[in-house]
């Protein structure tokens, strides 16, 4: 059982909950997810199974796309609606769309970001959320992230009864980006406390929301012995890589992790044997046409 499940994670569950349930459904221990989604966030959560777990870092390295909502007028401890309100300003009117667009544009490109205290980032061996829950504060590492797009996707609405304004957004960003921190940073630029009030991951690891399946659909597929309908083979996941069909002699070398001389120009290639990808090899930086092992997938049958 090797491949990727394009899972839809519902709100109210952690990413770890999804892995736990899939282990029971599939009766497979080798399962991992490709980037934590907070319990309040739904959307694409690629799940790696069997030999697919060796591709976690590869899938994590890809960019992600989200859509969500920002509420202006209050801020919380967690930067989303799950935390306690720590600041509130009752608005008399909503900021103009132009002003908001300008704020979002300041948060695009290569920018630095400080992860929220309620996050899984480790400092001195402890998760930041452990410090936060204990009422402790520590200096947080500054991260370099890339935001290629951060745009408003709805009119700005004003809720006079609660003194808040809201608008929807879409963001395209690199791995390691905390979208809720982008939401609060937008408020900082505007001079108004803000919070991320909704978020859905639309795309991750080359998988978009329309391709996802639910936990219930996975369970049904297993019961009906149709797992192939929800488990993408590694060949599909790695379809963007140039493929090299191995001879029997080359296959014997690959099984031992030996380098190969190949007439290729690509920086990395997928090596196949009997129509199954068995390894990903990278071009040597110091010797032309020599490729060395990068990821071994020998048990991909």
- CA–CA dist 53, 32 (Å, integer): 6
- CA–CA dist 108, 175 (Å, integer): 14
Count CB neighbours of 210 within 10 A.
9
Give the Å distances, CA to CA, from 193 to 90, 104, 208, 243.
10, 15, 32, 51
Assess contact for 80 and 29: CB atoms under 8 A. Answer: no
Q: Quote the Cα angle for 93-96-98, to 5°.
A: 170
Instruction: Report the candidate in 155, 160, 156, 164 with the shortest Cα–Cα distance to residue 73.
Output: 164
Count CB neighbours of 113 within 10 A.
20
Beta bridge partners of 65: 172, 203
Q: Which entry of 38, 42, 80, 185 is annotated as an active-site residue? A: 38
> What are φ and ψ of residue 85, in 5° steps?
-70, 125
Q: Is 164 exposed, middle or buried (0-12, 13-18, 19+ CB in 10 A)?
A: buried
Beta bridge partners of 150: 171
Assess contact for 50 and 299: CB atoms under 8 A. Answer: yes
CA 39 to chain centre: 14
Q: Is 38 a catalytic residue?
A: yes
Instruction: Report the candidate in 134, 5, 277, 199 with the shortest Cα–Cα distance to residue 268.
Output: 277
DSSP 8-state secondary structure symbol assigned to residue 216: H
Question: Catalytic residues, which ones?
Answer: 38
């Amino acid at each position: 059982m090797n491949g990727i499940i394009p899972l839809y994670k519902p709100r109210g569950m952690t990413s770890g909950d999804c892995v736990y349930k899939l282990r029971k459904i599939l009766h497979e221990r080798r399962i991992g997810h490709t980037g934590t989604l907070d319990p309040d966030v739904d959307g694409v959560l690629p799940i790696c199974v069997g030999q697919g777990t060796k591709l976690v870092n590869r899938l994590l390295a890809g960019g992600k796309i989200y859509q969500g909502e920002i509420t202006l007028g209050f801020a919380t401890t967690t930067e989303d609606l799950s935390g306690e309100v720590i600041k509130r300003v009752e608005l008399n009117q909503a900021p103009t769309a132009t002003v908001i667009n300008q704020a979002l544009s300041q948060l695009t490109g290569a920018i630095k970001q400080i992860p929220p205290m309620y996050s899984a980032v480790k400092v001195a061996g402890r998760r930041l959320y452990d410090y936060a829950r204990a009422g402790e504060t520590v200096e947080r590492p500054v991260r370099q992230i890339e935001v290629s797009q951060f745009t408003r996707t709805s009119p700005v609405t004003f809720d006079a009864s609660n003194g808040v304004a809201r608008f929807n957004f879409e963001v395209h960003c690199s791995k390691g980006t905390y979208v809720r921190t982008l939401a609060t940073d937008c408020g900082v630029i505007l001079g108004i406390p803000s919070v991320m009030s909704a978020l859905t991951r639309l795309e991750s690891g080359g998988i978009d929301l329309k391709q996802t399946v639910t936990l219930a659909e996975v369970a049904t597929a297993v019961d009906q012995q149709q797992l192939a309908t929800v488990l993408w083979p590694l060949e599909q996941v790695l379809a963007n890589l140039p493929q090299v069909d191995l001879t029997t002699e080359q296959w014997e070398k690959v099984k031992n992790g030996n380098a190969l001389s190949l007439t290729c120009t690509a920086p990395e290639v997928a090596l196949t044997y009997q129509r199954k990808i068995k390894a990903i090899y990278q071009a040597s930086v110091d010797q032309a046409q020599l490729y060395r092992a990068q990821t071994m997938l020998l048990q991909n049958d």
